[in-house]
Amino acid sequence: MPSVSTTDTSELEAQEPRRLDVDVLVIGWGKGGKTFAGKMAAAGKSVVMVEQSAAMYGGTCINIGCVPTKTLIHSASEKRAADGDQKFFEDAVDYRDSLIGKLNDVNFHMLADQDTVTVVDGRACFVGPREVEVTPSAGGRGLAEHLRITAETVVINTGATPVMPPIEGIDLPGVYDSTSIQHAEPFPQRLAIIGGGPIGLEFASMFTNFGSEVTVIARGETILPSEDRGVRGVVVDVLTDAGITLRTNASAEAIETRDGGLAITLSGGGSIEADAVLVATGRRPATEGLNLTAAGVEVDEKGAVIVDDHLRTTAEGVYAMGDVHGGPQQTYLSLDDSRVVMSALTGDGSRRVSSRVAVPTTTFLTPPLSAVGMTEDAARKAGCAVKVATAMVADIKAMPRPKAVQDPRGVIKFVVDAETDLVLGARLFHVDSQEVINLVALAMRAGVTASELRDGIWTHPSSTEALNEVLGQLE
């Protein structure tokens, strides 16, 4: 395994780059990239993994995304009234950091300990087809050296970065993005969140449970505009009952300091005062500085790398995985991207992006909101004859688990094809929904009918057994 270089990076950059020629070059350590790199190394291929920051060994999900935020969400759910806000938050962040440090280390060794893998700390920039120049980064554990790397196969796996809209004052102290808010200092007693999408709402639920007074500013008429209307209404009720203020049909025009805190000026007049502001207005593909033109790689109007059904870019031998090629931004899709590319390179090419069906999602509110397939409106617009089963969680007699863990909030809704009895979509807003939705998604992919789910034998007490009663409405 390469040792840490103690040479000043400015000296390295001035040196003539050393050349490496390998089988596989992966730029960016996300879920898809690291999985692909590991499999190619196991097959005997020479692999270089270039990661610009040692803090990102393992990718976004491990270090700043899914795992750390869900760790904080769980910690927040454990807070009691007697716990001090600042100290409890600090302890939660300390635990988050300890866990992420361990996962970061595991991910580094996952690749670095393989004989045919070279981990390079630096920033890659294309200088030609399947050729990059790497400017070394300090502070890592991989090879920190000015390099020029050519490869038979190149994978762009650089992920996405937060969108920071052009709002006056957005660079003021106390204004955070979804990464920096995880280490907010001091703990914000009043938090304003710009953006009413899943990321903003997850942090709204989290910080409310930590003890903040939270206001969400959403540009549209409602939060979660593409969600089922009835289910969304229950979500709104749960959030507002928890103390979250939802300001819809509003947008932030400016942020300024005021009375030791911050004030957000809203369109149409008025303002919101807060101790901190979270900007959660989406994420864009991270392609800046890659010089993709030199590689012959084209991007779309949003900056996403253009790929085909096998994730091939417009340049021969160059593929893209994960958030960098646009579309839904989920770690498990990045993982499946690695399967698609492996199928194209070493298999029969039968695995394609377009073959994905019934892909579930979860927004980790408290309780979590999970979804798969079509909403009722979408199914009807598609011309389907549907049957609908809906039940408030508190009213489901055969679902004692939410009551046992003292959170019977939420709603369950299924949309079923009236002719085939197949599940077209489901919305689960309840304790454990992030687990139950996987069962429903698998049933949809396998052609299991709603009646078979209804008549399933499930453990007790569990959230899954709600299927017996809710789908029983369709008899």
Count of other CB atoms within 10 angstroms of residue 199: 22
Count of other CB atoms within 10 angstroms of residue 449: 16
d(CA 162, CA 174): 16
pLDDT in tens, the chain (475 residues): 333 444 455 555 567 899 999 999 999 999 999 999 999 999 999 999 999 999 999 999 999 999 999 999 999 999 998 999 999 999 999 999 999 999 999 999 999 999 999 999 999 999 999 999 999 999 999 999 999 999 999 999 999 999 999 999 999 999 999 999 999 999 999 999 999 999 999 999 999 999 999 999 999 999 999 999 999 999 999 999 999 999 999 999 999 999 999 999 999 889 999 999 999 999 999 999 999 999 999 999 999 999 999 999 999 999 999 999 998 899 999 999 999 999 999 999 999 999 999 999 999 999 999 999 999 999 999 999 999 999 999 999 999 999 999 999 999 999 999 999 999 999 999 999 999 999 999 999 999 999 999 999 999 999 999 999 999 999 8
Which pair of tokens denotes residue 112? 């670095």
Q: What is the pLDDT of residue 122?
A: 97
Q: In which residue are the tokens 């990661």 written?
A: 51
* Of the candidates 409, 416, 417, 419, the residue with the CA atom closest to the CA atom of residue 467: 416
pTM of the predicted protein model: 0.93
Q: Which residues of 222-251 are buried (b: 16+ CB within 10 A; e: fewer)?
A: bbbeebbeebbebbbebbeeeebebbeebb
Q: Is 286 left (phi over 0), alpha (psi -120 to 50) or beta?
A: beta
Which pair of tokens denotes residue 416? 């079923």
* Of the candidates 279, 280, 321, the residue with the CA atom closest to the CA atom of residue 304: 321
Element (H, E) at 74: helix 66-77
Please name each of the domains of the chain with its CATH number.
9-161+284-355 (3.50.50.60), 175-281 (3.50.50.60), 361-474 (3.30.390.30)
Q: What is the pLDDT of residue 13?
A: 53
d(CA 426, CA 370): 8
* From 146, 325, 430, 460, active-site residue: 460
Strand 283-285 and strand 160-162: the pairing is antiparallel
Q: Is 124 left (phi over 0), alpha (psi -120 to 50) or beta?
A: beta
* Of the candidates 473, 461, 391, 457, the residue with the CA atom closest to the CA atom of residue 428: 391
Q: What is the pLDDT of residue 10?
A: 56
Contact indicator for 418, 386 with CB cutoff of 8 Å: yes
Q: What is the pLDDT of residue 6?
A: 42
Q: What is the pLDDT of residue 198?
A: 95
pLDDT in tens, 347-366: 999 999 999 999 999 999 99
Is 460 part of the annotated catalytic residue set?
yes
pLDDT in tens, 232-269: 999 999 999 999 999 999 999 999 999 999 999 999 88
Q: What is the pLDDT of residue 393?
A: 98
Q: What is the pLDDT of residue 4?
A: 41
* Of the candidates 284, 324, 340, 332, the residue with the CA atom closest to the CA atom of residue 157: 324
Q: What is the pLDDT of residue 322?
A: 96
At residue 100, φ and ψ (nearest 5 deg) are -65, -35
d(CA 311, CA 319): 6
